[in-house]
């Protein structure tokens, strides 16, 4: 056994983390600070990513910046009542992470593959947050393509907002939502017969 393999986690630990992770809807403070968030992102960036293009960026939104983003999104709402609800959604967690897809022109790595890499990073980040005791949930977010939201976040012409990770501390006493193990037999097929 090499020294490098000594530092790898036990497979069962990773599987337990994956099987027990749940989206946490009700969140309160605190949330990860800048140093921990950078560490989490560095770990999440190891997710599958052909060519290591890292075709994404993350915008951390906290404090009054959530209010201002909520106001920008509310401008896109068709009614005043809906605008008020849209603005409030931006205050449901102490930290919002805007997930921005930044596709790159590449001769052999198509856009769909870069989007898959971005999704893999976000999923890995959610898993890492959960393992460290933070709560998180990925929501598409209200009006992610609205010009007001794009301008407020400074999105470039080819960038796409994939929604937000809402991050914070799970509200004490909230029961974890149970998820039944999926029956995936119909989702698996073999060509050439099953291996032993």
Q: What's the total number of domains in the chain?
A: 1
Q: State the pLDDT at residue 60.
A: 98
Tens of pLDDT, residues 126-160: 999 999 999 999 999 888 999 999 999 999 999 99
Q: Is 22 labelled a binding residue?
A: yes
pLDDT band at 3 (very low <50, low <70, confident <90, very high): very low
Asked whether residue 164 is domain-assigned, the answer is yes
Q: Is 56 labelled a binding residue?
A: no
Q: State the pLDDT at residue 5.
A: 45
Q: What residue spans of the chain are helical by DSSP H? A: 3-6, 11-20, 34-44, 64-74, 80-89, 111-131, 147-153
Asked whether residue 5 is domain-assigned, the answer is no
Cα diameter, the chain: 64
Q: Is 111 labelled a binding residue?
A: no
Q: State the pLDDT at residue 141.
A: 81
Asked whether residue 192 is domain-assigned, the answer is no
Q: Are 93 and 166 in contact (CB under 8 A)?
A: yes
Domain of 153, CATH number, reads 3.40.109.10
pTM: 0.88
Q: Are 152 and 72 in contact (CB under 8 A)?
A: yes
Asked whether residue 134 is domain-assigned, the answer is yes
Q: Are 114 and 44 in contact (CB under 8 A)?
A: no
Residues 13, 40, 134, 154, CA torsion sign: negative
pLDDT band at 194 (very low <50, low <70, confident <90, very high): confident
Q: Are 43 and 94 in contact (CB under 8 A)?
A: no
Q: Which residues form the domain of 52?
A: 24-170
pLDDT band at 16 (very low <50, low <70, confident <90, very high): confident
């Amino acid at each position: 056994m090499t020294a490098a393999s000594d530092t790898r986690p036990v497979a069962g630990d990773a599987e337990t983390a994956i099987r027990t992770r749940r989206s946490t809807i009700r969140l309160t403070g605190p949330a990860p600070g800048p140093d921990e968030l950078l560490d989490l992102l560095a770990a999440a960036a190891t997710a599958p990513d052909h060519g290591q293009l890292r075709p994404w960026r993350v915008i951390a939104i906290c404090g009054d910046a959530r209010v201002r983003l909520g106001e920008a999104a509310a401008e896109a709402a068709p009614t005043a009542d809906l605008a008020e609800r849209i603005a409030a959604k931006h205050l449901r967690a102490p930290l919002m992470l805007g997930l921005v897809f930044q596709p790159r022109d590449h001769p052999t790595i198509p856009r769909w593959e870069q989007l898959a890499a971005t999704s893999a990073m976000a999923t890995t980040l959610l898993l890492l947050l959960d393992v460290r005791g933070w709560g998180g949930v990925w929501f598409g977010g209200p009006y992610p393509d609205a010009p007001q939201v794009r301008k407020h976040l400074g999105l470039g012409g080819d960038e796409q907002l994939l929604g937000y990770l809402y991050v914070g501390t799970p509200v004490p006493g909230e029961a974890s939502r149970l998820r039944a193990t999926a029956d995936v037999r119909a989702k698996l097929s073999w060509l050439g017969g099953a291996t032993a």
